[in-house]
Structure 1
């Protein structure tokens, strides 16, 4: 997908630049329909210049085009993030598999030296288990403290 067809409508605002911007309100579709019928017939009588209404229609078309692009881009971003998460998960599983194989080989051959070249990988793979154990100990200590304070 490209943004070539909306490139003239794209802006990159500085952080906070949109503070105070008006937003779309409920009923905009009714306003678009009403103006499409009323302006050609009553626009001059109401003092609404054709250029002003033309700007409104151009802005409305731009908003519609950008909204469609935004929906596609959001779906693409969602798919990209989910794909990355899956690939990270698969890579972590592959690391765990290699660690399991190396440990098994070291145990079967009774040669712990086989593990030396994989020190960082073994430590990396153990992080989640160490963190989980630390959390379990912390939760158990908190539970024990809560129980002992209730017993007093």
Structure 2
């Protein structure tokens, strides 16, 4: 299996200082019952931008109330942009960690293979002792796979065949 990947070229640093006044840390479950954005918010923003200036006073919408709406909208937009950057950075970090873990596990397997081969070719089984934990660690996946195969085989042999039903 060949894994293809490209170097990460996205943002390397992120700061929340420009949105720090908007950041909160809610207690677990505190957002239950919060209202969420609904389809059509862009149209609402456009409509209010044109209508409040002309008809806002007649409708009872104070300039201060509309300013609050505009400020909240700007804050939401800024937070959405930060989320996207942070999510991409988190994705790249997790993918990089998974790749490095895979590469390290392959390197361990290679060292185990070399050690076992050297011990077999030289007839010096004592070479295995200093690498006992490493060899046992590397064998875990194969042991689990064999156990699963045995379990599946046993389950298959215990299951009634369709001709017996």
Q: Does TM, normalized by the shorter one, top 0.5?
A: yes
Note if 1:93 corresponds to 2:86: no
CA-CA distance at 1:148 after TM superposition: 5.1
Structure-1 separation of matches of 2:163 and 2:18:
68
Structure-1 separation of matches of 2:109 and 2:26:
44
The TM-score, its normalising length taken from structure 2, stands at 0.88
Structure-1 separation of matches of 2:143 and 2:101:
20
User: Would you identify which runs of 4 or more consecutive aligned residues in structure 1 move more than 3 Å?
Assistant: 147-152
Map of 1:28 onto structure 2: 41
CA RMSD of aligned residues (A): 1.3
Post-superposition Cα deviations, 1:85-135, rounded to whole Å, max 9, x if no partner, equal 000000000000010011011101111111111111111000000000000
Map of 2:142 onto structure 1: 129
Task: Map residues 1-152 of structure 1 onto 2, 5 A cutoff.
Answer: 1-147=14-160, 151=164
CA-CA distance at 1:137 after TM superposition: 0.6
Gaps of 5+ in 2: 1-13
Count of aligned pairs:
152
Report the 3-state secondary structure (helix = DSSP H, G, I; strand = E; otherwise coil) of the residue aligned with 2:58.
coil
Q: Which has the higher contact order (CA 8 A, sep 6+)?
A: 2
The TM-score, its normalising length taken from structure 1, stands at 0.95
Report the 3-state secondary structure (helix = DSSP H, G, I; strand = E; otherwise coil) of the residue aligned with 1:45.
helix
CA-CA distance at 1:151 after TM superposition: 3.2
Post-superposition Cα deviations, 1:58-77, rounded to whole Å, max 9, x if no partner, equal 00000001101111111111
Report the 3-state secondary structure (helix = DSSP H, G, I; strand = E; otherwise coil) of the residue aligned with 1:16.
coil
